[in-house]
Structures are given as C-alpha cells and as structure tokens.
Structure 1
Amino acid sequence: MKFTVRKALGVAGAVTALTVALPSPAMASDSYHVMNTGDAFGGPVFDYSGEAYFTEHGDIVKICDTDADGYAVKMYVALDNADGAPLYSFTRGGEGNCATHQASEGGVYNLPENRYIGFQFCRYKDGHAGECENYRFYNDH
C-alpha cells in the first residue's frame, strides 16, 4: 500500500478533530472530586481506610469503607469549610460497603450552589473520629 502525503494529511486531520472533540481530563473532572481518609498505610501504594466522591451535579456524596481494619469511615459535610458546623454526617463500615446521599433526597442533602462546601472524611470507631482529611470544593453546578 502506497502512503501518500494526502493520506498522511487525512490521518492527521482525523486525529486533530478527535482530539478537539473529546473533553480534556480537567474538563471531565471539574465537578467530580475524589477524597480519602487521613491515614495512608503501605509501601509505595497508599492504602487508605476509605474513599469518597463528591459530584456537584446532583450534590452526590458517596463514601466507601475500603479496608478491613475494624474501623468505619465517617463523612461530615459543612458549608464553607470542613471544620464548620456540619449540615449532616454519615458513617459506613465494613470493607467494600458504601453509602450515598444526594440532592434528590431534599433538605440538607440539597447543597447550595455557588458556595464552598467543606468535607471532613475520617476513620471512625467507638464513637470517635480520627485520622481525618479536610477538603473544600466550590459547588457551582
């Protein structure tokens, strides 16, 4: 098969069009945030007790216990800063178990738009939270 300049330009044009049409990773993740508890054990790969996700579209907050360590995970959700008075909190325990709250539930779960939302995500056992990590995201969707 003979490779010509015309074919090369056609391939280059197709690649350019595809690159422009696809969203960049930053665009795709502007309203999706990943959070972890404040602990990290293990060698080169961090092993957190929990992982959480905040999706601005629908105000979806999902927490998952990702470690069979005898601890649950607890998320505090507050206005403005993670260390403010929580709007709500929730807990989930047992490796692989997740819990979700979202705007469609109404009330405190419908987070205000165009405002910072603070998240404090912790390990939790016997009524005590520890090894927390604080996060803050601007909710503009």
Structure 2
Amino acid sequence: MTAASAAMVLAVANSAVAADHTMHTGDAWGNVPGVDWSGTGFFNEYGDVVTIKDNDADGRGVTMNVYIGSPSGNPRYSFTVGGEGNTATRKASMGGNFDLPENTRIGFKFCRAPDGECKDYTFLNDH
C-alpha cells in the first residue's frame, strides 16, 4: 500500500469514527445479508461535511444528492464518485451551496450510479 493509499484509508476511517450520521446505498445483490453495500456515506454536522465512498469494483459509482428539508425535488447539490475505495467530500468551507443552514432538516438521497437505486435519509443539522 502506498503512503497516499494509506492516508486515504485513514481519512475515511476517521470520517466513519467521527461521523454524526452514516448512510448506505443498496448493494449490487439486492440487499442480501452478508454482502457489502455499494456505497457508504457520512454526514458530520459540524462543518457540514458530507463524504461518500464507492465500496464495490462493479463498474458503477455512487451519487449523493443533498437537499434542504426532505430528499425530493431539486437538490441543493449533488456529487458522484466511482472506483472501489475512492471517496469524495463536500463541506461548508468550500462555500456556496455546500454551506448548509443550521437548525434545519437536511435530506440525502444516496444512489448507486448510474442505475438510480436510491435510499433516502433526513437528519437535523443542529451543530
């Protein structure tokens, strides 16, 4: 494992340990027990940090759609990552739409890409 790979694994592990909320997509096998999720997502309220990870080498990626309120209609922002083990992060310090309002419910639609199998989540952003 290269130093860069080790750093990425550590960063994702730290996100998972410190995450206020964890989300999952479905898996490529239809949610069969013992089969891993296609993607894992983390939301840390402090700093509005949203991280997604592609867990499978299946030729697909994962997409996170972020909403103010329920996960429907037009998302505030979306982002995608592909390739087993790859991650992507968006956070308030990036400015613009990534700075989410406080004391507001934030909706997430976390999807396998490109087939669109999605799971919805909503959390109160109160930090």
Smaller-chain TM-score bracket = 0.7 to 0.9
Aligned pair count?
110
| C-alpha RMSD over aligned residues | 1.9
Structure 1: gaps spanning 5 or more residues: 1-27
Indicate if the aligned counterparts of 1:65 and 1:94 stay in contact, CA closer than 8 A.
yes
Tell whether 2:109 aligns with 1:130. no
Distance in 2 (CA, whole Å) between partners of 1:43 and 1:85 is 31
Q: How does 1:1-141 map to 2 (within 5 A)?
A: 32-39=20-27, 41=29, 44-125=33-114, 129-141=115-127
- Segments ≥4 residues shifted beyond 6 Å: none
Distance 2:76 2:83 in 1: 24
Q: Which amino acid is the alignment partner of residue 26 of structure 2?
A: G
Q: Give the deviation of 1:61 after TM superposition.
A: 0.2
Provide structure 2 residue ranges, at least 5 long, that are not aligned to the other structure.
Answer: 1-16
Identity percentage of aligned residues: 54
Offset of 1:86 from its aligned partner? 0.3
TM normalised by structure 1 equals 0.72
Contact 1:119–1:135 (8 Å) recurs in 2? yes
Q: CA 1:44–1:38 in 2, change beyond 3 Å: closer, same or farther? A: closer
SS of equivalent residue, structure 2 residue 27: coil
Counterparts of 2:41 and 2:70, CA distance in 1:
17
Q: In the alignment, what sits opposite 1:14?
A: none
1:22 alignment partner in structure 2: none
